[in-house]
Amino acid sequence: MNTTPTAGCHSTDDGTTHENAAESLLPPLTRGRLTALCDTGTLSPEAWKKALQICGFNPDGKAWLAYWRQIFLLGGALFFLAGVICFIAWNWGAISPFGRMALIGSLVAGTGVGAVLLGPDTRLGGILLLACGISMGPMLAVFGQSYQTGTELWELFRVWTVLLCLLALAGKQAGLWFATWISGSIFAALWFGRSLSSPLDAFAAFFALPEWLLVIACAIIAWEWAAWRAARHTSESWLRSRWMPRLLFCDLAIRCTAYLLVLIFDGPSWGDESFLWLPQQFVSAFTLAAGGVSWWWYRKKVADLFILAVLLGAATILVLAFLAEAQLFFHTGAVTAFLLWGLLVTGVTACLAKFLLYLQKSMAAGKNNAAIVPAHAFSFLGRSVPEHSWQNLWTHLQNERLIPQETPLPHMNAPLSPWYVRLLLALGGWLAAILFVCFLAFFVFETMQIIAYEEAGIFIASIPVLLLGRSMLVKNTIFSRHFGFALAITGTVGMSISMFLTVNSFMSACFLLALLLVVVSSLMQTPPYTFLAAMTVVAAVSFGTSSLVFEELGQWQVESLGKIIFYLPLIWWVAVSLGLARFCLHEKTWRGRGTSPNADAWFFGAYAGMLICQLASLGIWQQFMLPFPALRGAYGMGMGAALGIGYLAISLSRKRHGFARAGVLLAAAASFVLAWHLPGAALALLGLALARQMTNMAMQGFVLTYLLAYMIFYYYTLAVPFAAKALYLTATGIVLLLLALILRTWSAKITAKEAADA
């Protein structure tokens, strides 16, 4: 495929013609792509910074307001809903049956009326209609429990499925059909296992039911047929959504693959009672037939690389499982077997990568992507910006003389692989790395005849392994990367083990480990290794400083507050938090160098290390009577995070007018109060701020997940009555919703003022 931008035209099925069709291989205009161009020298740091401003990747004041408003709105809704549920659960016995039905019925009626008033075709109306359908299930459960109707659980799901189906027919949205499918699947499983002892037994027996495999296949066929027809009618565009058939196909593939894995390793272990009319052999024949038909349909008729990747991944798992059951290479001994299996998995992964890339290229050649690839801003929990393209961006930069006029547009030699392809290859690579690590461990201990606790032997054997890994990491082949990474990890672990066995002091061993990883990561110069090293360094220094405090002071006590050593953990977390904030604000100084990817790895690894230390401390801080709540949660991490938030607030609000800056600084001051009582929440707010400034959605997702887990743990362990927990949850939700309302009002005033000035 030609990868250079050339003039030409390309006709599509609908008769339209696009010029410069070869430019369909322009990469997506994202912040990461601009950063990669800067790191490789295509863009100067000044051009990179200007490009971020043009494309809207640097958030302005309105973007920050929208971002925090959405976070507060989401958090407030969750807290308020949790508080209401806890209140109802606590007072369930005191509420009359009519009152219970009134509470849940008002929710169903309110969401239903809201969906009708707004219209099910609108986004909010569709969400309300989905909420109405989902809330019908709890309403049926409350009705059955309050009035003791004596209905079975499967009967509840049967009625719920019928109601959801009616709403799905009226609402015309994939979400309602998915909810109908989930409810119908549970109903079928419970009905099938109604004679079994528990619902879990029913689900286990239902998992590989051949008749249900046919039902799933029929559902996929029906959806694809409807989508095929909907392609001609724009009014039914919702049927062309691909996530619904993909989820159904994943369900089908998981069931068939699991059955065949059990068949390979244990034989036909499912008894005859697990089947209705079709025999066990049907599943194997059905899997082959469904796989062949699916490959033809999604390769020739409806191009869907996701489903083809699922098929290839399932086939690869089954082939490797069959070879493992046949004990391939097992007769060669443990050392050789691990090596040969690592080579086998690496070869299979390489072939899979090449074939998926071929499929991706061939599918891209059959389509016509417009030459202009729009830039979508950080739209998740943030506001969108006007669309831009590489052509417009290049014109802006050339007009401002930030890049030479003859600089060509960036293009890809191959289409950018989607996330599921990269995930599939990453899983194969990590499996190969684990096998190589096992091979090296057995090789070192058996070949060199190292017995337990021979610290010097382990250290000496680990050095050449580490150096060999470094030499292989620089090569650009899939085998060298996986095997080199496994060598590097094995050598590092071996040196770390020997260090901890040699040094008697845990504190000294932690500091030496941090120093070792800093030196080795600078030698490796590979982002994945640097990320793991940074994460371990932050945790090791944290454990080392905490151990130093305990060794010097013996225990946490009020008399120790006057000693500087008592505050070493707090000083460490302040330094880490301020370092992360400074890196984020002065990112331009790091760009345009060959070491920029490793600097990014240090940034993300350091914050990941903070999260790990905070999670590890959740079960520790309750065992000590600390004098200050601010020292809980890894001993001062919350206060360090609050200082990082304050530094970000001061720097980002420097050019704002007085009222806006006062509001930002007041919010930053409030983070210190939050850090005093909830250090983990302050750490999450710091991560959310860093993720928004860096425009990194993956980091934001991890931080939100951590925050949810932290708050669940906090309220679960909170030593107050259940009624008080319900009150705290509800009050927290109301406060967050009020903050979201304040930010919305503030944003509206700014928009009105800008319109008046214009």
- Give residue 273's pLDDT: 47
Indicate the SS3 state at residue 9. strand
Indicate the SS3 state at residue 10. strand
Residue 46 domain-assigned (yes or no): yes
Query: What DSSP state is assigned to residue 194?
Result: T
Q: pLDDT at residue 19 above 50? A: no
Taking the C-alpha atoms of residue 62 and residue 656, their distance in angstroms, rounded to an integer, is 12
* Least-confidence region, from 106-120, 413-427, 467-481, 699-713: 413-427
Indicate the SS3 state at residue 18. strand
Q: What is the DSSP string of 237-305?
A: GGGG-SHHHHHHHHHHHHHHHHHHHHHHHH-S-S-GGG-SSS-THHHHHHHHHHHHHHHHIIIIIS--H
Tally of structural domains, the chain: 1
Best mean pLDDT range from 74-83, 376-385, 407-416, 478-487:
74-83
Write b or e for each residue in 261-300: b if 16 or more Cβ atoms lie within 10 A of its Cβ, otherwise e: bebeeeeeebeeebbeeeebeebeebbeebeeebeebbbe
Higher local confidence (pLDDT), 406 or 115 = 115
Indicate the SS3 state at residue 269. coil
- Give residue 448's pLDDT: 60
- Give residue 450's pLDDT: 57
- Give residue 234's pLDDT: 58
Q: pLDDT at residue 336 above 70? A: yes
Average pLDDT of the residues in 199-206: 74
- Give residue 270's pLDDT: 52
Higher local confidence (pLDDT), 236 or 84 = 84
**Amino acid at residue number 299:** R
Cβ neighbours for 29, distance < 8 A, ≥ 6 positions apart: 55, 373, 374, 375, 388, 389, 390, 393
Residue 527 tokens read as 């982002």
User: Over the stretch 280-330, which tens digit does the pLDDT of each residue have?
Assistant: 778 888 889 999 999 998 888 888 888 999 999 999 999 999 999 988 888
- Give residue 444's pLDDT: 67
Of the pLDDT bands very low, low, confident and very high (cuts 50, 70, 90), residue 640 is: very high
Residue 684 tokens read as 């999450």
User: Over the stretch 454-499, which tens digit does the pLDDT of each residue have?
Assistant: 667 677 777 877 888 888 887 766 667 767 777 788 788 888 888 8
User: Over the stretch 671-728, which tens digit does the pLDDT of each residue have?
Assistant: 998 888 888 899 999 999 999 988 888 888 889 989 988 888 888 888 788 888 888 8
Residue 44 domain-assigned (yes or no): yes
Average pLDDT of the residues in 558-577: 75
- Give residue 414's pLDDT: 54
Residue 49 domain-assigned (yes or no): yes
Q: What is the pTM of this model?
A: 0.74
Q: pLDDT at residue 379 above 80? A: no
Q: How many CB atoms lie within 10 A of CB 668?
A: 21
Taking the C-alpha atoms of residue 744 and residue 731, their distance in angstroms, rounded to an integer, is 20
Task: Report the mean per-residue pLDDT for the chain.
Answer: 79
Average pLDDT of the residues in 557-580: 76
Average pLDDT of the residues in 430-434: 77
Residue 41 domain-assigned (yes or no): yes
Residue 38 domain-assigned (yes or no): yes
Instruction: Give the CA distances from residue 278 to residues 186, 190, 200, 217, 272, in Å, rounded to whole numbers and listed in that order.
Output: 21, 19, 23, 15, 10
Q: pLDDT at residue 371 above 50? A: no
Q: pLDDT at residue 568 above 50? A: yes
Write b or e for each residue in 637-647: b if 16 or more Cβ atoms lie within 10 A of its Cβ, otherwise e: bbbbbbbbbbb
Average pLDDT of the residues in 615-629: 56
Residue 379 Cα to chain centre, angstroms = 16
- Give residue 249's pLDDT: 92
Residue 211 domain-assigned (yes or no): no
Residue 454 domain-assigned (yes or no): no
User: Over the stretch 234-285, which tens digit does the pLDDT of each residue have?
Assistant: 556 677 778 888 999 998 999 899 888 888 888 765 544 455 677 777 888 8
Residue 45 domain-assigned (yes or no): yes
Structural domain containing residue 55: 30-59
Please count the CA atoms within 13 angstroms of the CA of 197 that sit on its side-chain side: 0
Rounded to 5 degrees, what are φ and ψ at 645? -65, -40
CB distance 437 to 492 below 8 Å: no
CB distance 684 to 707 below 8 Å: yes
* Least-confidence region, from 541-550, 569-578, 588-597: 588-597
Residue 53 Cα to chain centre, angstroms = 27
- From the number of C-beta atoms within 10 Å of its C-beta (0-12, 13-18, 19+), residue 319 rates as exposed
CB distance 28 to 417 below 8 Å: no
